[in-house]
Each structure stands twice: as structure tokens, then as C-alpha cells.
Amino acid sequence: MNLNQVTIASKDVAKATAFYKQLGLRLIVDALPRYVRFECPDGDATFSIHHTDTLSPNNNITLYFEDENLDATVEKLQAKGIQFTNLPEDKPWNWREAQLKDVDGHQLILFKAGNNRKNPPWRIHNS
């Protein structure tokens, strides 16, 4: 199996679309105001947003987008007016992360993990 598609809900899909386009995702399906789909600029994953009238207050969704040039990307996004809750910092799990929220309050983490995403020093080796 390969996880290659994630969908989130939004009360305002058009506003959310503008936000994710600012992050650099490429719009590939436009069925506004009900649904949109993006492809990520790197890799093969897709990401979509569908309309909902109400969002659960505890949606507990965290989206991770990896970027090899994390610090430069964060600076570019800040120049576009994107607000971050935490600027890039090194984490004990060997990732560098910056945090922000989208227009619907979903937690986003932009990160750089490199080989440590799938092969951290503490990886379990299955036989």
C-alpha cells in the first residue's frame, strides 16, 4: 500500500484553495465551491479539500509537508503574509520543523527530515 492522497474538510473551499496555492501546491481539479484537488510540487502525492458546513472542534488533523529548503521556504511564505505559530527549529527526532495553521485551523507542519523520516536511528528492523 501507498498513502498518496489526503482529503480535509473546509467551510470555505475557495479561501482554503488560495491558502494552499500560496504554499506552492498545484491545483489540478477545480470543482469550486465544493471540492478541489492539488498535486504536490515534489513527489506523487495529491491533496484535496471538500466543503463542509461544520468543522469538528477537535478534528485532530495534522498535515506534514516536507521541503528540502525549509528555512528558505518559510521565509518566502512569510513574505507572502503567511503567519507561522513556530518558526523552523531542530527537533529531538532529527527533523527540522515549522508550524502554522490553515484557514480552517488545521495544524500544518512544514519539515525537513531527509533520510530520518523513514530511517531514523531507532527504526525497528523487521525480518
Is 88 within a domain?
yes
118 vs 124: CA distance, rounded Å: 10
Is 127 within a domain?
no
CATH number for the domain that contains residue 63: 3.10.180.10
Q: 79: domain range?
A: 5-116
Residue 49 buriedness (CB in 10 A; 0-12 / 13-18 / 19+) = buried
49 vs 11: CA distance, rounded Å: 10
CA dihedral 59, 102, 83, 25 (to 10 degrees): 140
Task: State how many domains the chain has.
Answer: 1
* Whole-number pLDDT of residue 61: 87
116 vs 3: CA distance, rounded Å: 18
Is 121 within a domain?
no
Is 111 within a domain?
yes
* Whole-number pLDDT of residue 127: 64
Is 62 within a domain?
yes
Is 57 within a domain?
yes
Is 122 within a domain?
no
Is 123 within a domain?
no
- What's at 46, amino acid-wise? T
The tens-digit pLDDT sequence of the chain (127 residues) is 788 999 999 999 999 999 999 999 999 999 999 999 999 999 999 999 999 999 887 777 899 999 999 999 999 999 999 999 999 999 999 999 999 999 999 999 999 999 999 999 999 988 6
C-alpha cell of residue 123: 527504526
* Whole-number pLDDT of residue 114: 92
